[in-house]
Structure 1
Amino acid sequence: MSSLASLTRDLVSIPSHEGESAAGDFVESWLRDHTDAAVTRDDHGNVIAQRGDGDASLALVGHHDVVPPDESQVDADGGYVVEEREGRLYGRGTADMKGCVAAAMLAVRDADPAGELVFASFVGEEQGGLGCQAAIEDGFAPDYAVVGEGSTGYSAAGVTDVAVAHKGRRGSTLVAEGGAAHASEPDAGENAIYRATDAVDVVRDLDFPSTTVLGHDLRGSVAVTEIEGGSAWNVIPERCAVTVDERTVPGERAPLDRAETVDGVAWRVDQDLPPMACGDADFADTVLDAVTGAQDGAPDHVVKPHATDAGWLAEAGTDCVVAGAAEPGEAHTADESVSLAVLERCREVYERVAETWPPA
């Protein structure tokens, strides 16, 4: 029998920041060897498994790719360093999110599912959800999903909550075009930086988008984060580009197209990661009941500030919540780690939800 700590350690030790195939091989082989699930590996590298049947399907969703590791997280042979200290497992991917992938694998093995239980570990989440998008295009469409991204430490330290919504991210660029001229004769040209700053003024005056999800307020943001323009100190700039970071909320977007009312300014969207909102209060409450029963704390429904694959699933029609072990600030760091006790809690939660949803 695989313990959660050893399974997580084995999975975390496999490098998966440049290529996910080895980690996917491990997940696929383990599921074939230790469960009676029907396991598939699609053309994109996603690992998907199915157990049980019923009128509604519940998916336990994660990803086995990671961001590039810090030098301290790689050993001399190129493998990932994994260390256990004081009840925590340290290493790239422990928190984001191989620990909860391992917890979901054990839940798939051990649960007596109430309906169709689906497991999915995607590739390319750190590249904007490429694997999840591809799976959806190929027909992946569970009715419900628990996405194992971090939801611990939001309502109180150490408490695992249930995120019923999260923000998305729309990254875009405002490009101002002008006309070059010698700086000693500025009126002979059209200063692209001036046009860009006029567009920035438009952005600065925009209201932040906001909405309410299951009684919880979710407020987005809009911020100019980069500006680039000009070619020399004595040349009127003919081009200037401005980067805009927008954190989106379900159903609302900031009207960034208003910046195009400035002469010579065009707006383009470079990345659009969708937000998530759970539309089924009963499902959200069922997961909260499971989380409450698995710990001593008093968890709550919360909202997350950043995008996950739950956004792509929700956009495609799946009712999602996020429930996982990672705490704010743990992921993507040189000392990334996860609490083994909280991982065990999440394994219990996933198993409980699988055995109670959908309701009879």
Structure 2
Amino acid sequence: MSEVLALTKELVMRPSVTPDDAGCQELLAGRLARAGFACESLRFGAVDNLWATHGEGGPVLVLLGHTDVVPPGPRETWASDPFVPEVRDGRLYGRGTADMKGSVAAFVVAMERFVAAHPDHRGTVALLLTSDEEGDAIDGVRRVAQVFRERGQRIDWCITGEPSSSSRLGDLVRVGRRGSLSATLLVRGIQGHVAYPEKARNPVHAALPALAELTARSWDEGFESFPPTSLQVSNVQAGTGAGNVIPGEFTVHFNLRYNPHWDASRLESTIESMLARHGLDFDIGWHRSGEPFHTPEGPLRAAAREVLARMTGSEPEESTGGGTSDARFIAPLGAQCIEIGPVNASIHQVDEHVAVADLEALPGIYQALIEHLLTPA
């Protein structure tokens, strides 16, 4: 059994459903400490974070990942226990195999091999792990980034191991992500009988023209490789359950995925001004998941293209699609960020899996990237 396959299995056997790390980081810190890394545990609330470094000074290359996983759902829907890793037909099955314990194991193996081969490498290679990526992401990398900002911790480059590949390993590298802004809109009216609308004020009727404007708006035409900004309504709620009662309140939840044309504060003020223009009696609460980031052409993107072309046979697509990742908290520190990881077809699904061949190729890819950036040409 390969080193990375064995370590991935060890991690999968720990049921680390957000925010419980279930001992994953302790296991990894022990290995890295034996390899000469300085390891620091940063625990905030119920969330564990691990910061492991080797070397000193700049440039600083961070490998970023998470040890938490989403709940597996009913065990009986899985072909095998989600926390008992099993290899079938060349695939390793278990919760977290693709998202992202396989990448985390590959990070650790790659870092061990790198420092053994290059004990006096230039700069710093570091691993940052959290157990709060799949959850609220409050006390994880977001909180650690605040600590780094206070310390003046430098980060030049960041490689996140999220499952970014589409159909084969290394066919896509993410060079940016859209921002995510969520809203809870409460529109107030006056409850009443449907037969006497003159004695009531229907908040649904009042809100519909504003919602129509919001959902029909073209926010922008995109930004470089980013798609246009999108607003999607996810939930609406009104009424008492009775068919003859005009509701007194109407609640709407919506989310914007936005490109660097916007920031959260401008979107919030634009939307609040539009709602006020429609004469609504409303309250709105905002949740900022993270601002967009974009890594311009430079050493990190060039390294990714060169390494993936050499090791997979073709240059990757460079994309800014998908959802969000913890890199959104590292990019504002001044870091260039990319994401390279396994195929994402089964993530968060029943019978999540990763191809064993892909898993065993990952340490070599990550080690080559580290060597490209932290050893002399």
**TM-score, normalised with respect to structure 1:** 0.90
Q: 1:210-359 counterparts in 2 under 5 A?
A: 210-213=221-224, 216-231=225-240, 232-252=242-262, 254=267, 255-257=270-272, 258-262=274-278, 263-327=280-344, 329-358=345-374
Measure how far apart 1:209 and its partner are.
4.2
Aligned to 1:138: 147
Measure how far apart 1:80 and its partner are.
1.0
Query: Using the alignment, how far apart are the partners of 1:210 and 1:278 within structure 2?
Result: 20
3-state SS, counterpart of residue 356 of structure 1:
helix
Query: Which ranges of structure 1 fall in alignment gaps of 5 or more residues?
Result: none
Shift in CA distance, 346/212, structure 1 to aligned 2, threshold 3 Å: farther
Measure how far apart 1:73 and its partner are.
7.8
Aligned to 2:28: 27
Contact 2:187 2:250 in 1 (8 A): yes
Shift in CA distance, 36/359, structure 1 to aligned 2, threshold 3 Å: closer
Aligned to 2:58: 55
Identity of aligned residues (%): 26
Contact 2:223 2:261 in 1 (8 A): no
Q: 1:200-237: per-residue Cα shift (whole Å, max 9, x none)?
A: 11212221445434xx2433311112110112322221
Query: Using the alignment, how far apart are the partners of 1:39 and 1:197 within structure 2?
Result: 54
Contact 2:306 2:315 in 1 (8 A): no
Shift in CA distance, 284/15, structure 1 to aligned 2, threshold 3 Å: same
3-state SS, counterpart of residue 227 of structure 2:
strand
Query: Using the alignment, how far apart are the partners of 2:375 and 2:71 within structure 1?
Result: 41
Aligned to 1:100: 103
Shift in CA distance, 53/160, structure 1 to aligned 2, threshold 3 Å: farther
Shift in CA distance, 79/158, structure 1 to aligned 2, threshold 3 Å: closer
Letter in 1 for 2:63: L
Query: Using the alignment, how far apart are the partners of 2:97 and 2:325 within structure 1?
Result: 17
3-state SS, counterpart of residue 256 of structure 1:
helix
Equivalent in 161, 173, 195 of residue 184 of structure 1: 195
Query: Which ranges of structure 2 fall in alignment gaps of 5 or more residues?
Result: none
3-state SS, counterpart of residue 342 of structure 1:
helix
Measure how far apart 1:98 and its partner are.
0.5
Query: Using the alignment, how far apart are the partners of 2:248 and 2:33 within structure 1?
Result: 60
How many residues align? The count is 352
Aligned to 1:70: 73
Aligned to 1:119: 127
Return 201-210 or 228-237, whichever deviates more: 201-210
